[in-house]
Amino acid sequence: MTIHDERHLPDAAEAPRLGGDVPLARMPAHWMLGRLGKKVMRPGGLQLSLRMIDALGIGPDDDVVDFWPGLGITTERMLARDPRSYVAIERGAAEAARVRAVMRHGDDCLVAPAHRTGLPDASASVAYAEALLTLEPAARKVATVAEAARLLRRGGRYGIHELLLTPDGLRESAKDDIERTLTRVLHVGARPLTESEWQRLLGDGGFETDRIETGDLLLLDVPTFVADEGWGGTLAFLGRSLAHPSVLPRITEIWNVFRRYRDSLGAITVTARRR
């Protein structure tokens, strides 16, 4: 399932920087953290992502579509399973050039909307996305899940790793408060769902749930940070942060918000099959 067109991207060295020329203190948090050197930006950390990949059971007969692979950490681990084909869908050239650096010869990375990829119907056996749907408004969530269903053959597997609201019975006013606060501090719309809402979104989109795993929000958890990035990556991140003092108050604010809502925010992976 290799596609070559004008959406094929330049090499990483030729691509624009994450966030472009927006000041670090004002850009979306995922770009800011990436510019500072963080490579794993998944709500539940790398290990939760890898367990999702295990649950998808990817092997040599699979055609994989990866929505928003980011800096390619999960991609590297997934490609070690040697799927028959791999296509990444990214939102911009800066992000896509980075995932191309870990792709195999013959794989593809396209810049296209996640809800309108342009790929053929029933062209994939596996699709997955991490920290994508959380950042989409309700209608776009539905459209993006529908696009995954369109791309997958009957029985195809779909995995998501997203931000979780908890407990299931969380009041609407509390949900609204969390959404407003996250959007303000992350500088990007953040609209997480409860476990039953994530299940319903996939069920209404044509999927049967196979497996759910939930856990704590570990994005800036110190032990998880070190485990995901290694000591070298962690120290490099700290060095870059100290070299850009304007980001330190913002990182502190994000950490404080995660602590403030620690009983209401978590991480979730869901793997499901297309009906």
pTM of the model: 0.89
Q: Which residue has the tokens 């994508």?
A: 132
The 8-class DSSP code of residue 33 comes to H
**pLDDT score of 95:** 82
Q: pLDDT tens-digit profile of 210-254?
A: 999 999 999 999 999 999 999 999 999 999 999 988 899 999 999
Enumerate residues 6+ apart whose C-beta is below 8 A from 239: none
Type of residue at 266: G
d(CA 25, CA 247): 5
What band does 39 get if pLDDT is binned at 50, 70 and 90? confident
Q: Which residues of 40-62 are buried (b: 16+ CB within 10 A; e: fewer)?
A: bbbbbbbebbebbbebbebeeeb
**pLDDT score of 20:** 63
Higher pLDDT, 100 or 57: 57
**pLDDT score of 183:** 95
**pLDDT score of 7:** 39
Measuring CA to CA, how many Å separate 153 from each of 120, 146, 213, 274? 11, 13, 24, 7
CATH of 12-22+41-172+188-217+265-274, one of 3.40.50.150, 3.40.50.300, 3.40.920.10, 3.30.70.3270: 3.40.50.150
**pLDDT score of 141:** 98
Enumerate residues 6+ apart whose C-beta is below 8 A from 161: 42, 43, 44, 48, 49, 52, 128, 129, 130, 131, 267, 268, 269
pLDDT at 116 over 80: yes
Q: Which two tokens stand for residue 168?
A: 């299931």
What band does 17 get if pLDDT is binned at 50, 70 and 90? low
Nearest C-alpha neighbor of 273 from the set 72, 57, 35: 57
Q: pLDDT tens-digit profile of 159-192?
A: 999 999 999 999 999 999 999 999 999 999 999 9
**pLDDT score of 45:** 93
d(CA 99, CA 10): 11
Q: Looking at the chain, how many residues does it have?
A: 275
d(CA 53, CA 204): 23
Q: Say what percent of the chain tops pLDDT 70.
A: 92
CA neighbours closer than 13 Å in the CB half-sphere of residue 236: 12
Q: What is the mean pLDDT of the chain?
A: 91
3 state SS of 247: helix
**pLDDT score of 229:** 93
Q: Which residue has the tokens 């110190």?
A: 222
10 near 96, Cβ under 8 Å? no
